[in-house]
Structure 1
């Protein structure tokens, strides 16, 4: 059931026929893992907490640096030097004390990541590291949990949903399995804050759609954002039958 406080707090989204009371209850009963609390993870965490997702698992091993504040809006200047998980928890608790927050402060290995993914309903990849993205994807495939993946650099962004519950859905490795850890990061190439904010907000939207069960998620579709020209482009993506993670090629 929803309390009077919850009915009032979430009243504007409850008015939507796609959400209603039933959808709000689904959000309240949901558990979500956010991997990375930086430029992407900040709007993701803020919007999911504000929307009333019942339990947010926050994973990040890094500490907050002054250079982060240009885009990582879940944090503030007094929090510089603190663990990002602790900084984000303080902000989210102030935003919505009804949401349960579960911290993961240490870098995750295959076992801990597998356990963390198995304990939630949905995962959001908000990292900027190829190896971590691959590990998160593998854990989601193994646990059959949907993954909302976003990326942004310079003035460009990408977004897709990988859902192993859907037979035709590709996984992250199907698209990027030939990538390399030598890819550029924001600290090397730069990024504009609103770009990661836009992609992170879209990730939060896709997560809510999946949790509540409305709309058309970005499964089998890759959304490309060109902030320089303010254009969006969509590519159809297919599952690779020989994929080493989700296909017949896995060992």
Structure 2
């Protein structure tokens, strides 16, 4: 029985994505002391509360009732400690919980986060792909046209990409990613922190073939490595850009602009710019 009293406000509590032992002591304390816990699915969270010996009341808060329930929850935060959890992982990651935080802040409510597991971050650590720059895109659209457009938009980012996916859609999504992004290294991580945790690596095309007929169970994260280095621009393209810049700018500034755009040598471009000016006399 937890006799610790929490100050009124909203507590965002990260919960395990697999192994229940991943719940932090601080998260367990909050779940044992909150006046009410807002949950996606009472059945899922009930198992977690049983694990930590908590009997705090729960109230459903999910996509289908959020608009109706949110004002009442925010009102309760003025005098009560309200904990927010998702079925697994960190709330607000690929779910609409941000609206509850936004409205709580607008009402002057204190918002506290109890950080912990996140499938996206865990998959990044397993994939063996660059992590200095990454972008999280959640679930891609189900319709092929919208999915292709989303992949094209994501592909413009020169870093690692992270997507969530379900087993039945995995093969089609990997095939679409291979078509839209080309030969990039990737990883499929699933059942993270559970008994049958698995991470499979390869190119997008190789993974698309592997999962074409296979529908693995569990929560799935796709991690896609960044594109390779862009091929150097053709000399004709750089020359054309330099001549265009010279029509607008002095030689030094024109050379600087083109050097920055193409990653070319500024001194060499300046020398060429001076040659072009001499030829024009």
TM tier relative to shorter chain: 0.3 to 0.5
Structure with higher RCO (Cα < 8 A, 6+ apart): 1
Report the structure number with the largest CA radius of gyration: 2
Q: TM-score, normalised by structure 1?
A: 0.35
